[in-house]
Structure 1
């Protein structure tokens, strides 16, 4: 088993051995002519990210992996318009994250990358199984190591951004009633303003099936959490007990009331949402500040 684990690294050892052989003295004391300096053949690239190329081979392999994954799920690729571009954008984002980590002084030791390949072999059961997995997933040993190194850097940057999100945040406890038209929403809002019971009206008329049984209660949430930012913005603009103007979202028309407001610990799902938002915001800012050149039309 131990011998199998090292077979993947045999090509690296072979390279070192050949380099050592070139340094041996020539027989009979003859001085050998220096070998010609090899000229590396540039590998085709599909994009430049701050001067660093994304290899065409890596893009095509990632594209093949994506297509295979979709096929395994029974998804027709013809229904996924522009997926080639999204795959390329994902590689660009990974490169931006890796560059961000490197700019903060993060580095990945070769030993750590090779340890990851060995761990992967252990997870799969053997090095032979890893070699089979690599073939099935369009990896060479070189591209696997290159991808692991970049992924480890990117993961460290994501972890740093996530850790920077405070565990406590200002939050509001709010509720809403969702109606299909502004006119109907205005009628219900007027009824609430003259003393109608908000929760009872929500249970009777709201189109939001997830909150209707609870009288429209949205619970506690921080800014950047709701999937309807218009409702969130209105809730944070109100004082406790206040009812806002009817606000329109992609779902319809909302009557919003803020019940309470305070700084409190974030629930796990809210913290995760804010951490995801922090990464998205960082990537958006980094894109604006970076020189990105796409060299193909995917």
Structure 2
């Protein structure tokens, strides 16, 4: 089944706060939830969310001690700002407990690999948080005590009240002050995100297209011959397309903008190169062979909420990657 949108939506599962703040991940997807809360879809980790594309900007060189070296009181420095070893170790331990609670055997090769990945992700999340805090200071963004207290009360109420909240703190090994600092970081990140993404437009040029997917070039040429001979595109799609999702609708892909991977890149390129009513030649993609037709074109069509959210996510991811590429990062904790 060729579910084009499902791939994009999987890539979109990157909550900004959870990608940037491992402390928030601990509250919502880690060891335990506040009573009454439900875990959201597992987001992409910070380490994955900020990896540069192949051929793109490279990360700054970090100072990494050899395994077995004496561990000091600082896990990393970000532009001179220290990340305490105690903070790193506590959050890493909480995730280690979470893995154990999920019945992951940490003595196996798979368990050791998962633990190593978590170790890297925790450190990357703390580095990103430091970058966000530094950017917030440059932007003049700060969190007032009133804002923090309102978020605390909101979170406690959502979790079922003070008694359940205190029980959750005890179970999670988090002090009230640590919890407040986690929420302060969450609020700060929200405000930085809003600042960074404020210029992302909610409209874009979009095309409404349909396609026929075939398993072989010969079949694609046959479909193209029938269309060029005057047969209805939708009829040919219903009879020949291998795309089980769009076949019944005559291959209809709906509207989509550039650059969001709503459809395979090859289909997007072909569609935006066509005028309304035109039919492409055979288009090869990793999924097979396609025939594409454009039905409509709109210069400033409002973006669907999920696509708009994805564009804002991409803008923030790009911004965060730029901050990381420009930063002086020293990793002082052994990563093995």
TM class by smaller structure: 0.7 to 0.9
Q: Check if 1:218 corresponds to 2:218.
A: no
Report if the CA contact (8 A) 2:214-2:289 is conserved: yes
The residue that corresponds to 1:38 in the other structure is: none
The residue that corresponds to 1:207 in the other structure is: 242
1:141-196 Cα deviation digits (max 9, x unpaired) = 34323322222111112223343222221111111122233443344334333333
TM-score by length of 1: 0.72
The residue that corresponds to 2:272 in the other structure is: 236
Q: Distance in 2 between matches of 1:246 and 1:53?
A: 56
Query: Counterpart of 2:292 in 1: which secondary structure?
Result: strand
Q: Check if 1:273 corresponds to 2:310.
A: yes
Q: Which has the higher contact order (CA 8 A, sep 6+)?
A: 2
Map 1:95-114 to 2 at 5 A: 95-114=130-149
The residue that corresponds to 1:169 in the other structure is: 204
The residue that corresponds to 2:44 in the other structure is: none
Report if the CA contact (8 A) 1:45-1:56 is conserved: yes
The residue that corresponds to 2:83 in the other structure is: 54
Q: Distance in 2 between matches of 1:69 and 1:203?
A: 48
Deviation at 1:49, TM superposition (A): 2.6
Query: Counterpart of 1:163 in 2: which secondary structure?
Result: coil
Q: Which moved more, 1:121-130 or 1:145-154?
A: 121-130
Q: Distance in 2 between matches of 1:220 and 1:238?
A: 14
Aligned residues: 257
Map 1:34-183 to 2 at 5 A: 44-66=73-95, 78=110, 81=114, 82-183=117-218
Q: Distance in 2 between matches of 1:190 and 1:69?
A: 58
Query: Counterpart of 2:279 in 1: which secondary structure?
Result: coil
Report if the CA contact (8 A) 2:226-2:236 is conserved: no
1:231-274 Cα deviation digits (max 9, x unpaired) = 22322222222233433333333322222111211222222222
Q: Distance in 2 between matches of 1:126 and 1:43?
A: 40
Distance 1:52 1:168, change over 3 A: same
Distance 1:219 1:297, change over 3 A: same
Q: Distance in 1 between matches of 2:319 and 2:208?
A: 28
Report if the CA contact (8 A) 1:97-1:158 is conserved: no
Distance 1:130 1:220, change over 3 A: same
Report if the CA contact (8 A) 1:242-1:257 is conserved: yes
Which of 275, 288, 300 lines up with 1:252 in the alignment? 288
Please tell me whether Structure 1 or Structure 2 has the larger radius of gyration of its CA atoms.
1
Report if the CA contact (8 A) 2:119-2:335 is conserved: no
TM-score by length of 2: 0.65
Unaligned runs of 5+ in 1: 1-41
1:208-245 Cα deviation digits (max 9, x unpaired) = 22211111111111123315233223222222222334
Distance 1:57 1:254, change over 3 A: farther
Distance 1:270 1:135, change over 3 A: same
